[in-house]
Amino acid sequence: MNTTFPNVFSLSPHMRYALQASVAIVISYVMPIAYGWSTQSFTAAIAVMTIASTTGLHLAFQKGVLRIFGTLMGAVVGMILVANFAQERLLYLSILSVFVFVLLYLARAYKGDNTLFVLMLVAMMTLYDGSDKDIFTYAVDKTSMTLFGVVVYTLCSIYLFPQKAAQPKKEHREIKKLMHFDFYTLEHLKAAFVGFLIYWVSVYLWIEFNPPLGFTVVTLATILSAVTIFSPVTPKMMLIAFSLSFVVALISYVGILPNLHYGWQLTLFLFLYAFFGYYFLPEALTMLFLIGTTTLYIQNTMFYNVGVFLNVLFALYLFMFTLLFFYYIPFSSKSEDVVKSLLSRLNKLLATLNKPHKTTFDKLYERYAKKALNATIASLHFWSGKLDTRFFDIKQEHLQEWMKALSVLLQEERFDQNSIQKIQTNYEKTGLKNLFERSRF
């Protein structure tokens, strides 16, 4: 007789993720305030938001070690830059922009836990605020809070509602499998360049308007570019998440926070705020929603000034529209435009591999072309699944068959005219050519 009963209290992976991330947000905010460690508790919260919005929860310990390492590396480089160039603002910002481009590119190209590079960038950018205060003390304070956020998230993901432990050998193989870079996908380079542009536009707006949050808004806009550029997140989704965030923040600022008198009340408020975002919104949008907490100025001694609050909202909306502008310029992040770009690249690579008479250069280039073709097909698999198949009249069955045929062609390295002609025939059946004939906003 089977006496095994199902565990009715078991949590779904999504519920576990929402609870772990929400508790981490609460701890990162409340503990520094409760113990008077720092006035920069939102920096720890930003670190938690960054991790939770860009990565999953598996391989938690190994990821945690890498994140701490990345944060420390970013802090060391950031302190060196601040110590040597803080008085020369333009020079400092120019050098920092180079790191922005490189780290955003590596974060895109790395096929493992890309928060290693994102947290390096967070640690570097949060050390600067453009003021004349004690730079070293400020930098140490910011670094400690960023590290605190990383450690809190790591501990929550390991010990709070833990999953069944993975076998060490299997876990090691999974880590090894993920630890490589994809330098053959052009969209990674494009996204890093757009992030670079967003950084400089944000810097200009920061200097021009001097918003209450200071240089933090530049950091947020730059980090968010890693989530919004060449991702399935659409402008409509971004506007909804961002607006919902500030509606909730405004209601909280005016009607809830002034009536909270005990620590447990603040803890419950932050937990419910974070849980709503992590449970009900897609992971890519949670950071946009939770940014609203930075407008509340949660600290030991609260002060309420609606004018300042509205100024913060104006500044964040300004940077939000910067992200929306660069969703289309200079490279469109719409799924159909990305697929069109990938299809054009696919044709060029196949033409290169199908050359009947190859020069020495062609033979050398062929190695790159095969790897670039592999990356292009992988990107097509992802982005073709994001297309509005009804609007463009795309046949899903034929599309899947065509993608499978592409993978077989690459695996068998059959780049002769007959094989490529067969691919072309299958392509005609998919309806993808409609992408070049129809357009939508």
Domain identity same for 313 and 344:
no
Domain identity same for 374 and 257:
no
- Residue 272's pLDDT is what? 94
Query: pLDDT per residue over 83-117, tens digit each?
Result: 888 788 899 999 999 999 999 999 988 877 777 78
Asked, for residue 1, whether it belongs to a domain, the answer is: no
Asked, for residue 85, whether it belongs to a domain, the answer is: yes
Last residue of a domain, one of 308, 328, 348: 328
- Residue 210's pLDDT is what? 82
Instruction: Output phi, psi for 397, to 5 deg.
Output: -65, -45
Last residue of a domain, one of 274, 296, 328: 328
Query: pLDDT per residue over 232-274, tens digit each?
Result: 788 888 888 888 888 888 888 888 888 888 889 989 999 999 9
Domain identity same for 405 and 304:
no
Asked, for residue 4, whether it belongs to a domain, the answer is: no
Domain identity same for 235 and 343:
no
- High-pLDDT (> 90) share of the chain, %: 17
Asked, for residue 286, whether it belongs to a domain, the answer is: yes
In total, how many domains does the chain have? Answer: 2
Domain identity same for 131 and 153:
yes
Domain identity same for 310 and 376:
no
What mean pLDDT do residues 374-403 have?
Answer: 88
What mean pLDDT do residues 283-301 have?
Answer: 77
- Residue 3's pLDDT is what? 42
Contacts 24+ apart (CB under 8 A), 183-188: 183/109, 184/368, 184/371, 184/372, 184/374, 184/375, 184/376, 185/108, 185/109, 185/375, 185/376, 185/378, 185/379, 186/341, 186/345, 187/108, 187/230, 187/338, 187/341, 187/379, 188/105, 188/108, 188/109
Last residue of a domain, one of 310, 328, 346: 328
Asked, for residue 317, whether it belongs to a domain, the answer is: yes
Query: pLDDT per residue over 185-208, tens digit each?
Result: 999 999 999 999 999 999 998 888
Domain identity same for 293 and 160:
yes
Query: pLDDT per residue over 315-374, tens digit each?
Result: 777 878 888 889 888 998 888 899 999 999 998 888 888 887 777 787 788 888 888 998
Domain identity same for 74 and 115:
yes
Domain identity same for 180 and 106:
yes
Mean pLDDT over each residue of the chain, to the nearest integer: 82
Task: Provide the residue range defining the domain that includes 39.
Answer: 13-328
Asked, for residue 8, whether it belongs to a domain, the answer is: no
pLDDT band at 1 (very low <50, low <70, confident <90, very high): very low
What mean pLDDT do residues 32-55 have?
Answer: 80
